[in-house]
Amino acid sequence: MTKFSNSLTARKKRISEIIDILSKIYPDVKIQLEHENPFELLIATILSAQCTDARVNIVTKTLFQKYRYPSDYLNVPVEELEQDIFSTGFYKAKAKNIRGACHSIINDFGSKVPNNMDDLLKLPGVGRKTANVILGHCFDTPGIVVD
């Protein structure tokens, strides 16, 4: 087998080796976004786009008291949600993605944040980076997140 083998088995083995190496180099990696459950981490990660984790934590401190469930984000006027997340920047797009993700979580996933890549990627505002954050920190699924 060459160094650049394309077989799926070889790639999976190499990924596993890389994760093992990184786990030894960085054994105590802790996410900076404050959250208590997968849903809160999803919201915080959506808000973190083009924003510091410190700013997101300031916003989510009150946001997570006001909005506890996906339905809470849908039961307020979008303008109110936009005001609540304004300081994170790109608040209109983020509010749209949060509401879209909440709608999908309720209607497609039984009000639970999905625990696999394919389903997470179906949520508005969720790309591979966000999905890997949620999978790695909430569902113990290894993934690499680069920021």
Q: Which residues are catalytic?
A: 129, 147
For 85-141, the pLDDT digits (tens) are: 999 999 999 999 999 999 999 999 999 999 999 999 999 999 999 999 999 999 989
Return the pLDDT at 3.
55
Q: Is the pLDDT of residue 1 over 50?
A: no
The pLDDT, as a whole number, for residue 82 is 98
Report the distance separating Cα 65 and Cα 90, nearest Å: 22
Helix or strand holding residue 105 (H, E): helix 91-108
pTM of the model as a whole: 0.84
Q: Which residue has the tokens 């690499």?
A: 144
